[in-house]
């Protein structure tokens, strides 16, 4: 199925490129301009995709994002738009994203990387959070259990500190060979979150095993450096005091419990 999509994409590549450039320009001039300064270093700019509520770097090898990043504020957490959207492929991914049939009858849920619960501030942002570029295959018990609990904790931090920059993605190891669907969407062994609070000048990260663990959620807290080592991604690239922020884990700052 994807090979047919790729053939069609070649026929409309020029049109897509024009559309992507316009989309990128709109993102940088209208949506979350502050987020851009915290983007991880990106080796291939063509992997970048911009939507109203979030941006991402797409990884063709695993058919999901390397990272999804967005700004979360107190006002956004308390938005009133209902959870509503249609799961669908992301036309902004030039190589073609995963699709509905990859996940159908796979035994895995469609796990949001940028949570729909963080997009209640705008109907377009909410709708776009259901794009498959923002999905990763997750065990149902993990998606609705530990991972959901951590997402709620991040929203609580946004209510407390007002503005956060959040980056989320999968952690793959050489042993992670399981994949689903015709597009071979990789199933990671863990997920990470990197959260930066400008008001504190502090960051916290989590590496969470992809299972319904019995350990308390805060036991997975770690430094940004640890996530960089696990993923090879350079987070908070170029910000002031980057190295100090990335190696520090201030337990009391985040009130972990």
What are the catalytic residues? 112
Neighbours of 247 (CB within 10 A): 12
Please state, in angstroms and rounded to a whole number, the distance separating the CA atoms of residues 89 and 56.
14
| Chain centroid, CA 97 distance in Å | 14
58: which strand partners?
65
Per DSSP bridges, beta strands 109-112 and 221-222 are: unpaired
Nearest CA to 184 out of 172, 192, 195, 193 is that of: 172
Cβ-based burial of 199 (10 A; exposed 0-12, middle 13-18, buried ≥19): exposed
Neighbours of 11 (CB within 10 A): 9
């Amino acid at each position: 199925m994807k090979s047919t999509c790729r053939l069609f994409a070649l026929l409309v590549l020029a049109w897509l490129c024009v559309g992507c450039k316009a989309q990128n320009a709109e993102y940088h001039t209208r949506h979350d301009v502050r987020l851009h300064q915290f983007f991880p270093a990106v080796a291939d700019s063509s992997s970048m995709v911009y939507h109203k509520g979030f941006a991402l770097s797409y990884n063709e090898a695993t058919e999901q994002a390397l990272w999804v990043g967005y700004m979360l504020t107190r006002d956004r957490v308390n938005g009133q738009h209902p959870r509503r959207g249609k799961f669908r492929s992301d036309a902004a991914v030039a190589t073609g994203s995963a699709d509905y049939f990859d996940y159908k009858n796979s035994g895995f849920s469609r796990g949001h990387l940028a949570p729909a619960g963080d997009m209640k501030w705008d109907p377009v942002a909410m709708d776009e959070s259901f794009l498959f570029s923002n999905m990763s295959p997750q065990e149902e018990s993990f998606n609705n259990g530990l991972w959901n609990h951590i997402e709620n904790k991040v929203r609580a931090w946004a209510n407390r500190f007002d503005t956060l920059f959040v980056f989320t993605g999968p952690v793959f190891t050489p042993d992670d060979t399981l994949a689903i669907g015709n597009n071979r969407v990789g199933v990671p062994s863990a997920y990470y979150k990197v959260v930066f609070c400008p008001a504190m000048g502090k960051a916290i990260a989590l590496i969470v095993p992809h299972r319904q663990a019995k350990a308390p959620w805060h036991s997975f807290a770690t430094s940004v450096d640890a996530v960089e080592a696990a993923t090879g991604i350079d987070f908070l690239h170029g910000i002031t005091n980057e190295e100090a922020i990335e190696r520090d884990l201030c337990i009391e700052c985040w009130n972990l419990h």
